[in-house]
Amino acid sequence: MTQTLQYEINDGIAIIRFNRPEVFNSFNREMSLGFQELLDQCAQDENVRAIYLTGNGKAFCAGQDLAEVTASDAPFIEKIVAEHYNPIVRRIREIEKPVICAVNGVAAGAGANIALACDITVAVESASFIQAFSKIGLIPDSGGTFFLPKLIGFQKASALMMLGDKVSASDAEKLGMLYKVFNTEEFEEASMKIASTISKMPTKGLVYTKQLLNAGITNNLNDQLDQEEKYQSMAGKTADYKEGVQAFMEKRKPEFKGK
């Protein structure tokens, strides 16, 4: 495995850590392609029930490593977007596992937008989010123009993207960008607890919920109701549904298997 990433599986949780702390975990090609490979590995591994994404060091991810795009043999920007960031965001939204993102520090550019694309995003109180693209004449990529307006509204998203303002973790939570913010002392334990809880829940039901949320972005009400009917029927045929009902009737804690 590339040294730009750290990976382990612990009690059903695949833990992925960006590991370029000396450059604030900014993406180069090696880290981008390695991250995609790890997501594919998680998708195929039946032992993985949830994915926990975070960074090592002071930053979560500072976006693109500008040293790579200014080198003499630098790839074209369109190649970076097409081969690095678009595939990452597509994998996060399409993978049939919940993705929990624990933002441990600054999340800028593509780093910020990848965090917003995850299923549940939390942050440490010292974290911040920056749509840094306008500062160098670029547009927000990595799904930023798709997710951010839907999370916080058109006007606020437009302003943050054009002005490039830094948003504190507490303000990001108030705006609706995040699920929760934790203080430094509890951040790692509390964020991992979310992943642990998710990993022991009915995985197929959570995946169906994720797929419905994806569809609901563009569906009209009637189409979405039809999709809910379809997916509820699928959920009702899972072993975890049967276990959940049985446990409720027997007044005991269910033991879900993700099947």
Q: Report the C-alpha gap between 28 and 65 in whole angstroms.
A: 6
The predicted-structure confidence for 110-161, as pLDDT tens digits, reads as follows 999 999 999 999 999 999 999 999 999 999 999 999 999 999 999 999 999 9
* Residues in contact with 185: Cβ distance below 8 Å, sequence separation at least 6, in sequence order: none
Looking at every residue in the chain, the average pLDDT score rounds to 96
User: Looking at residue 1, what is its pLDDT?
Assistant: 57
Q: Phi/psi of residue 219, each to 5°?
A: -70, 150
**Rounded-to-5 percentages of helix, strand, coil across the chain:** 50, 15, 30
Read off the pTM.
Answer: 0.95
Whether residue 71 is predicted with pLDDT greater than 90 in this model: the reply is: no
- The residues pairing with 55 across neighbouring beta strands, listed in sequence order, are 18
Q: Say whether 7 sits in a helix, a strand or coil.
A: strand
